[in-house]
Structure 1
Amino acid sequence: MPKQSIPRIEYLRVQNYRALHDLKLEKITPLTVFLGPNGSGKSTIFDVFAFLSECFTDGLRKAWEKRGRFRELRTRDTDGNIVFELKYREIKKSPLITYHLAIAEGTKGPYVAEEWLQWRRAERGGYFKFLDFKEGEGKVITGEMPDEQDERVFEKLESAEFLAVSTLGQFAKHPRVSALRKFITGWHLSYLTADNTRSIPEAGAQERLSPTGNNLPNVIQYLSEQHPERLEKILDILSYRVPRLEKVEASIMQDGRILLQIKDAPFATLILAKFASDGTLKMLAYLTVLHDPYPPQLIGIEEPENHLHPRLLPELAEECRAASANTQLMVTTHSPFFIDGIRPQELWVLYRDKNGYTQAKRTSEMRGIKEFIDEGASLGNLWMEDYFEFGNPLKNQGAPRKN
């Protein structure tokens, strides 16, 4: 996939979503890592992407119900709509598009209070909305390159619970809307566990790893059949990081299920994946995600350090950066070893302010960090030696320290 064809999110604002009362992230990089104490909001940011993706694939009501409705979703002791705002580019140097989604709750459940798409065509032109909906009805400009002077067509959705971008994006006459729908429905959020990768699923090649990793044997089967050179590369990397590992094989059993087996040197007999180490299986799963021949346009990985040897984590961070040439990666972590492989502009530290709301600051904007890095220090050591402005859970609950 050519690099210039990858959509990139450059800005995110979230209001009234759990601990994210009003959080802004600007100048988001292709690889973005979130660090912070327990309860600082890392998983909540991760869940923002999961929630949006589920709204598009499963519907607003299902995503809302799954998370405990507004009672659990809306920031405590506040009222008002839950609001998401993304700024992204479809391709490099294309116009910046803003997507705004406000969700409210009525007597019959959730509904879309407001939803719009905005851009400006020329460098000196004004911003205008080419999709503008409120409570299930609004106007949209059709065509490949909507212009402010173009005719706006009135549309009414069957229900205010439906998302206009998700609904209208199914029609070819709205290519910019369709592009956003395709982007969001293609996101991959990974909640891998070693136990799930040990499953013995029904045989059948599958192109993409599931969020839990329970179809890992199917993905290995797909790669061996359709992209053997990609599987060979994955196994070369894995064998370098897991001593004595020689081979990973997916074989079909008589009952129609697929079995993942692993061979270690110098033994001739393969062992079942369920007897392999947690770290081996998780590393294999991460590599299949990061080396996907046709990767999702956004990948989220939560706490990749679990079950992996600390010395492997800086290399995994580099693997993530290499993959970010073909996708956008969002990663949450607790590991100083993982962030040793991260650059200051890629790392955001989260903390709760005095009101209990999540705030975030990029390490490249913290006093003294750039100078330490220029002198050869690593981010992991700076964090553990308490050079970050905040984020230490043992000092003032991780909030900013006083000068």
Structure 2
Amino acid sequence: MSSDTPSGIESIKIKNYRLLRDVSFAKLTKLTVLTGANGSGKSTVFDVFAFLHEAFSSGLRSAWDARNRMAGIRSVGADGPVEFELKYRTSVHRKSRLVTYQLAIDEERGAPVVVEERMRWTSAQGSGRPRDIIRFSRGQGAVWDEKSGRSEQVELESPDLLAVSALGQFRAHPRVRVLRNFVSGWYLSYISAGNSRTTPVAGPQERLSQTGDNLPNVIQYLQESHPERLGRIFEVLSQRVPHVERVTSDTLADGRLLLRLKDRPFDEPVLARFVSDGTLKLLAYLTIFYDPTPPPVIGIEEPENQLHPSLLPILADEIRQVSASAQVLVTTHSPDFLGAIYPQELWMIGRGPDGFAEVTRASDSQLIMEMIDAGAQLGALWNEGFLAAADPAGIR
């Protein structure tokens, strides 16, 4: 394990965030799949990751405003702050450490405020007293200085600033910087084929946007800087969509980029706007999976949209391969996708009697495991109503 690279999220706890009044995901695998009925809270879990990413990248106020402030974030009828707890493992001086990051936010005088922000680490075995690396409230707190071995008092400019984002810009605080870079480096996907049909201004871009509207720019970047990666993408795409031979990103006279796909039976490539939705969306996903520097966490919401059902088990296999180097979170309704998932990777989300979300791991169900041991697949169990915790009909 690299000394400055978290190995992945081990657990996350969420309180008072919309439907997630009090939920926990423990012992997360490198591939984590969420399934449940419409309105059960799957997208809300996905949005928690998006909220934290935006708060670290663009500022808490920006993420807060984008969601209609506290009225759009806090659980209905709840009092007190919205809280998150994130645990991941990293290496410090060649020793494994479990890092815990806690964030509690509230509203005061119409503005967001960080009620508490705390980062601490423990030993690999979790023994001994955890050490606070940062501990802040309303813009004031302390940060541990590794060189001096002492805590230093720090005052931020505003109570809505995250200490991790502010202090993580300085080399003097390497552990804080690791966390800042880790969360701000997450990639959350809301790709649609329609957005991928754009003709943007030419210019290579290293990573696909959340909507996929810069796909031609990413293809241009791969053409120019990583042709071997693009070749691998063509290879995989042609295996999944046999008639596709190659993809090019060509610069027009007015400086815009045009995406073209070459079909094997024809001499000339066709414009992206004439290519099927499924082919374009699969191409967009492959640019993420074969990114030369993959994000530490990748989120994919409902990949089954616009894809043929036969491609979904194959897509699951591609995602499993990328999960060797990145942690992947997927939300889905698709039994075809679930058929390629292991029980320990699947979390079922349903609404409890109080209307708030409840989460259950499939591998924690004795009934599910007995049927899996007998040869059943999760996709078939979903179709037959045995994933009761996520069943829209409420079968128990």
Q: Same fold (TM over 0.5)?
A: yes
C-alpha distance in structure 2 between counterparts of 1:117 and 1:6, whole Å: 14
C-alpha distance in structure 1 between counterparts of 2:63 and 2:40, whole Å: 23
Other-structure match for 1:306:
305
What SS does the aligned partner of 2:318 have?
Answer: helix
Other-structure match for 1:40:
40
Report if aligned partners of 1:2, 1:326 keep a CA contact under 8 Å in 2. no
Aligned residues: 393
Other-structure match for 1:134:
137
Q: Which amino acid letter does the alignment assign opposite residue 281 of structure 2?
A: K
Other-structure match for 2:386:
387
Alignment of 1:312-323 (within 5 A): 312-323=311-322
Other-structure match for 2:115:
113
C-alpha distance in structure 2 between counterparts of 1:6 and 1:305, whole Å: 30
C-alpha distance in structure 1 between counterparts of 2:7 and 2:164, whole Å: 16
What SS does the aligned partner of 1:390 have?
Answer: helix
Other-structure match for 1:29:
29
Report if aligned partners of 1:3, 1:326 keep a CA contact under 8 Å in 2. no
C-alpha distance in structure 2 between counterparts of 1:218 and 1:378, whole Å: 39
Q: Deviations over 1:115-155 (max 9, x none)?
A: 001112464311231211111101111127x9xxx311000
Q: Does 2:57 align with 1:57? A: yes
Other-structure match for 1:324:
323
Other-structure match for 1:354:
353
Report if aligned partners of 1:3, 1:325 keep a CA contact under 8 Å in 2. no
What SS does the aligned partner of 1:361 have?
Answer: strand
C-alpha distance in structure 1 between counterparts of 2:256 and 2:226, whole Å: 21
Q: TM-score, normalised by structure 1?
A: 0.94
Other-structure match for 1:76:
76
C-alpha distance in structure 2 between counterparts of 1:171 and 1:320, whole Å: 34
What SS does the aligned partner of 1:154 have?
Answer: strand
Shift of 1:93: 7.1
Report if aligned partners of 2:14, 2:23 keep a CA contact under 8 Å in 1. yes
Q: Does 2:100 align with 1:98? A: yes
Shift of 1:4: 9.7
C-alpha distance in structure 1 between counterparts of 2:304 and 2:101, whole Å: 33
What SS does the aligned partner of 1:94 have?
Answer: strand
Give the percent of matched residue pairs that are identical in Structure 1 and Structure 2: 52
Report if aligned partners of 2:5, 2:178 keep a CA contact under 8 Å in 1. no
Alignment of 1:253-332 (within 5 A): 253-332=252-331
- Structure 1 unaligned residues grouped into runs of 5+: none
Instruction: Provide the aligned C-alpha RMSD in A.
Output: 1.7
Is the alpha carbon distance of 1:185 and 1:332 closer, same or farther for their aligned partners in structure 2, counting shifts above 3 Å? same
C-alpha distance in structure 1 between counterparts of 2:140 and 2:341, whole Å: 44
Is the alpha carbon distance of 1:289 and 1:3 closer, same or farther for their aligned partners in structure 2, counting shifts above 3 Å? farther
What SS does the aligned partner of 1:141 have?
Answer: strand
Is the alpha carbon distance of 1:168 and 1:25 closer, same or farther for their aligned partners in structure 2, counting shifts above 3 Å? same
Shift of 1:243: 2.7
Report if aligned partners of 2:6, 2:182 keep a CA contact under 8 Å in 1. no
Is the alpha carbon distance of 1:199 and 1:2 closer, same or farther for their aligned partners in structure 2, counting shifts above 3 Å? farther
Q: TM-score, normalised by structure 2?
A: 0.96
Q: Does 2:18 align with 1:15? A: no
Report if aligned partners of 1:6, 1:327 keep a CA contact under 8 Å in 2. no
- Structure 2 unaligned residues grouped into runs of 5+: none
Shift of 1:371: 2.4
C-alpha distance in structure 2 between counterparts of 1:101 and 1:3, whole Å: 24
Report if aligned partners of 2:98, 2:124 keep a CA contact under 8 Å in 1. no
